[in-house]
A and B are shown apart, each in its own frame.
Chain A
């Protein structure tokens, strides 16, 4: 396979001959009269060099700024080796190949990705990845309502509103009801959880660090849910798990989130990658697929697709989810990032983010007309109030 393979005149003649067409015009004869050769308002053709200069000129108008957007978009450094490796043509394909006979490399990195996600979250099993953290959270909602055969879930108001919008969209078409747990000074109110939890609730969805960047303490949630046999879903930024208590340590049943923070650049707002990890007990309710390791007929180590809930293909009416795909190239991205950073490197990168955010916070809140909104420990987002017009600040 070659990346650049032009057709020769002879190739074109041969191909036309095979399909029984004498020339290119005849090939396009199906296109209705008047559609070909329309007089479109586009510039004349330019040489490659001219195009290159033109676009460079346009691109130079962009300002290379450091994004402070936060709230789900984090500009972490991407080690350059990642781009070189993921652009190898064995990996950069339009469709991820899974046949074990020809796809050992692909299956191995998916296996390693799953192992890394399990190590970070403390969960038993991870799937091969999902589109993004918001849809992964919605899939977790489907899992808990299906496992419990109940149609109401509780969601904390400290969850990112973008995720909540996706949950609402998913819930609408499954006739699920979302009730909200109130927040108190920027954190989920455990008293409101106690008041709203009952046997009709399938489970609870929370986020850590929450939308405001606050590290919430979810101690006691497991016990409250155990009283009603509810399930516990936590959306957790996986990068911070090198430092913070894992979802498993809080006793969660499903851990989900965006893995963009694991070195994936912001590009132009995507693509992102979601992760979803759960307990052995719930693994058959999990959307997507799992890769596993086994031995082949010669006794050598081999990677294969191990589990995919049968419902997705042969009992579709029973399926929890119609997700059969994953975000494989980004899973490779995350895998390489974690492998080269290692435990120590990830920890250092996170502590740098933590310290830099706190430095910024201290500097800004010491300015006149700026003050902190909440008095809680935060990680790499913080909420600051100002009496100045935010539009003016953005212009500067």
Chain B
């Protein structure tokens, strides 16, 4: 059973969002990293890039597949997790600790359209 952290927001494309004082940290779920297998590369966007809810912002490549990451929120990227550049496997080790981007949220109400931990659990059952 994949790990799900309570209190986070989830998308049905397997990204999670953690809200922290107007900013959102975005990563991929334990279910996503398990499905992908050993991650070998994360294509990181650049700081100051805009992200739009429902549009791709990055891609991860594993030994099995390459897949796009869809942004669950809209706003401006204020920070990118550079550690993933040299150590993409950090996502496998702890997908909820190793966020990919930090976003200055444009519209916090977008979060209400995302799934709760319980709703997400139903999806991946």
Within the complex, what minimum Cβ distance (angstroms) separates B66 from chain A? 5
Interchain CB contact under 8 A, A284 and B43: yes
| A284–B41 CB distance below 8 A | yes
Quick one: which of B46, B49, B66 contacts A315, CB cutoff 8 A? B66
Task: Find the A residue at minimum CB distance from B48.
Answer: A229
Q: Which residues of B contact A315 (CB under 8 A)?
A: 66
**Complex interface: chain B residues within 8 A of A229 (CB):** 46
* Between-chain CB contacts (< 8 Å), 10 pairs: A149-B49, A229-B46, A284-B41, A284-B43, A310-B61, A310-B66, A311-B66, A314-B66, A315-B66, A318-B59
Query: How many of chain B's residues have a CB under 8 angstroms from any CB in A?
Result: 7
Chain B residue nearest in CB terms to A199: B48
Q: B58-87: contact bitstring with A at CB < 8 Å (1 yes, 0 no)?
A: 010100001000000000000000000000
Q: How far is the CA of A314 from the CA of B46 in the complex (A)?
A: 25
Give residues in A with beta carbon < 8 Å to B. 149, 229, 284, 310-311, 314-315, 318
Contacts of B49 in A (CB 8 A): 149
Residues of B within 8 A of A314 (CB): 66
Shortest beta-carbon distance from B114 to chain A in Å: 25
B92 shortest CB reach to chain A, Å: 18
**Assembly CA distance A166 to B41 (angstroms):** 32
Roughly how many angstroms separate A356 CA and B103 CA in the complex, as a whole number? 60
Select from chain A the residue with minimum beta-carbon distance to B85: A281
In the complex, what's the smallest C-beta–C-beta distance from A321 to chain B, in angstroms? 16
Q: B48 → chain A, closest Cβ, in Å?
A: 8
What's the Cα separation between A284 and B41 when bound, in Å? 9
Give chain A nearest CB distance to B64 CB in angstroms: 11
Closest Cβ neighbor of B49 among chain A residues: A149
Q: How far is the CA of A315 from the CA of B49 in the complex (A)?
A: 24
Q: How far is the CB of A88 from chain B (nearest CB, A)?
A: 36
Query: Other CB < 8 Å A-B pairs besides A310-B61, A314-B66, A318-B59, 7 of them?
Result: A149-B49, A229-B46, A284-B41, A284-B43, A310-B66, A311-B66, A315-B66
Output the least CB separation between B3 and chain A (Å).
28
Q: Which 10 A-B pairs have the closest CB atoms?
A: A310-B66, A315-B66, A310-B61, A284-B41, A284-B43, A314-B66, A229-B46, A311-B66, A318-B59, A149-B49
